[in-house]
Structure 1
């Protein structure tokens, strides 16, 4: 796995060049760095005649790809072919002699950034709405005709220098494509189990390894590759936390081509808050989330809903393993880590004992 860099600071003079390369009539008025992952992200106020545009710049931190160009194309496809609330991509620059690239400019959307862990404390009605809308948007995403094999989503369209991407699904492809889903799934599980052996839950690694081997072997197809969001969590959304309305789905660089059920199960586990239910004031709401997501999914894609209707423990377990692997990144109240770990371990044990 590539070592993740730190976001680099971009001088105001360079930010002005980025804005003017997208549209010479635009003038940068204000720029503020935003804390969003390891890429360099800036909130921009741009004068466009008598109006002010609110934009975001997202740039590679070190000149490497980091799926930044693909993310821009995916958002353009979703904007053109679905109702998923994604920012409008107004300019992409894949390579440049002096500017930090790859980068793209996108419109700002309304909504509040909410901490990942707050999912456990949303009111039931707000969580239900968030889950239902997630189901609707996943049904739309899974219906985009863009991939025919499994793997990381990538783009195959023309290189851009300050232009808008076309928003054509034909511009999306898959890197190192796999036709056999169980084979590709093993390639995803094995590195996570390697990480798990170095985690605080390493006592479970040998049993999980045997369990996954048997579980993957018993998966029953056929398997239909679709675009899968995969990187679920409140941290990648803008929402109204009082109502649960999703106003933006952000960060599409981790998009994979997977079966619909894989993507669905990850969302159920992460939005259901089971990994936080060791806290005294948090409950496991997977059932509420699953029912609401299925309702939303069926409303949009009734002919595909059967593919996500039956829970698949293998996919849920992988979501659980990833939480265990990144446990130290959870923002938990002081003194609660042991209780949360005990609950996650008990949840894993329940899967192993099925």
Structure 2
């Protein structure tokens, strides 16, 4: 089913399929995201309850395979780690006549902050978000290591690293990283991921030769990373339910975008996503905030993960891994400028991207 809007009666049927004794009293659509995720009010044998129904409506094979892994991963993290995740109440992988997969999970009370407004939050709240991000990523990664590098998908009732001609697995993470960089640079030469939305398809093309030469020379000589493990590639404010006054994380959401990668890569991506609002503005002020919040993230991670240190080799890898996030942002600039009010000035955002990558070349 390609249409992301599933009728209310179909959503109600999905809930009844997973919980036949429940009676749905109301549905409230979740605006963020591409799927017809809904908060459900239902009468249960134990009284009125709020839960969340999350179906997948994508026809893309990789997105579908990731969606099949999400309830399995959530259940495992709930059982085997102290990462705060919603409990899964039921799931369906295949069913005729309705979009699949879909699953039901508990509703977690709290707030989800708009990342564009994050700089307006009290500093103590943001420091808590970053520190707990470090702790949560450490707890997640303690469940590894995994056997290969690549996307994690659901197949044959289990979770595995995808290995296809279009999305191959890798034995060495830096081989994967260099291929990912090469793909991003190819896109930058031709208008990015959304060339139909850009008015200047060669906006960053002049940077590509130097970046390509730099990465080809640098990535193979990076110190070897730690073994691959679970990596949440979309750890950001929009995927966190937090206590409003303190910033304490009550739930980490959206586990359909998981991969197997070294811990330092996840730290670099999570840091970049959580700092994204600060990166759109005054450079000196942003640098000061970034240093404070990065220290909170690293302190939280090191305190939770025995034997981990942010030594020179780890810092060197993290610095280069940050470039992966930035190249992806550059390739997505036309789309983000259309949907994100903090990115409406494309020339200003492009200038910030240029200033960042010029630190490397």
TM-score range for the pair, normalised by the shorter chain length: 0.7 to 0.9
Cα distance in 2 for residues equivalent to 1:283 and 1:306: 22
Please, which runs of 5 or more residues in structure 1 have no aligned partner? Answer: 159-170
**Residue matched to 2:197:** none
Map 1:1-354 → 2, pairs under 5 A: 7-62=3-58, 65-145=64-144, 147-156=146-155, 158=157, 171-176=158-163, 177-197=169-189, 198-199=191-192, 200-240=203-243, 242-273=245-276, 276-278=279-281, 283-284=286-287, 285-306=289-310, 309-312=314-317, 313-328=319-334, 329=336, 331-332=340-341, 336-352=345-361
Q: How does the TM-score come out when normalised to structure 2?
A: 0.84
**Would the aligned equivalents of 1:152 and 1:174 in 2 still touch at CA under 8 Å?**
yes
Please, which runs of 5 or more residues in structure 2 have no aligned partner? Answer: 164-168, 193-202
The structure that is helix-richer by fraction is: 2
Question: Against the structure 1 CA distance between its residues 21 and 290, is the aligned structure 2 distance closer, same or farther, given a 3 Å change threshold?
Answer: same
Cα distance in 1 for residues equivalent to 2:130 and 2:30: 27
* CA positional deviation for 1:282: 6.2
* CA positional deviation for 1:286: 2.3
Higher mean Cα deviation, 256-265 or 61-70? 61-70
Q: How does the TM-score come out when normalised to structure 1?
A: 0.86
Higher mean Cα deviation, 282-291 or 221-230? 282-291
* CA positional deviation for 1:244: 2.4
**Aligned-CA RMSD value:** 2.5
SS in structure 2 at match of 1:30: strand
**Residue matched to 1:168:** none
Higher mean Cα deviation, 339-348 or 84-93? 339-348
Query: What are the Cα deviations for residues 114-166 of structure 1, in whole angstroms up to 9, with x where unaligned?
Result: 223233333322221111000000000110136221111123563xxxxxxxx
SS in structure 1 at match of 2:26: strand
* CA positional deviation for 1:62: 4.4
* CA positional deviation for 1:300: 1.1
**Residue matched to 1:162:** none
**Would the aligned equivalents of 1:58 and 1:105 in 2 still touch at CA under 8 Å?**
yes
Cα distance in 2 for residues equivalent to 1:290 and 1:316: 12
**Residue matched to 1:161:** none
**Residue matched to 1:164:** none
Cα distance in 2 for residues equivalent to 1:66 and 1:128: 35
Query: What are the Cα deviations for residues 215-268 of structure 1, in whole angstroms up to 9, with x where unaligned?
Result: 211111154011001113212222245432222211111101001111111122
Cα distance in 2 for residues equivalent to 1:338 and 1:274: 17
Q: Paired residues, what number? A: 336
* CA positional deviation for 1:95: 0.5
Question: Against the structure 1 CA distance between its residues 257 and 333, is the aligned structure 2 distance closer, same or farther, given a 3 Å change threshold?
Answer: closer
Higher mean Cα deviation, 180-189 or 6-15? 6-15
**Would the aligned equivalents of 2:51 and 2:104 in 1 still touch at CA under 8 Å?**
yes
Higher mean Cα deviation, 171-180 or 336-345? 336-345
Higher mean Cα deviation, 311-320 or 194-203? 194-203
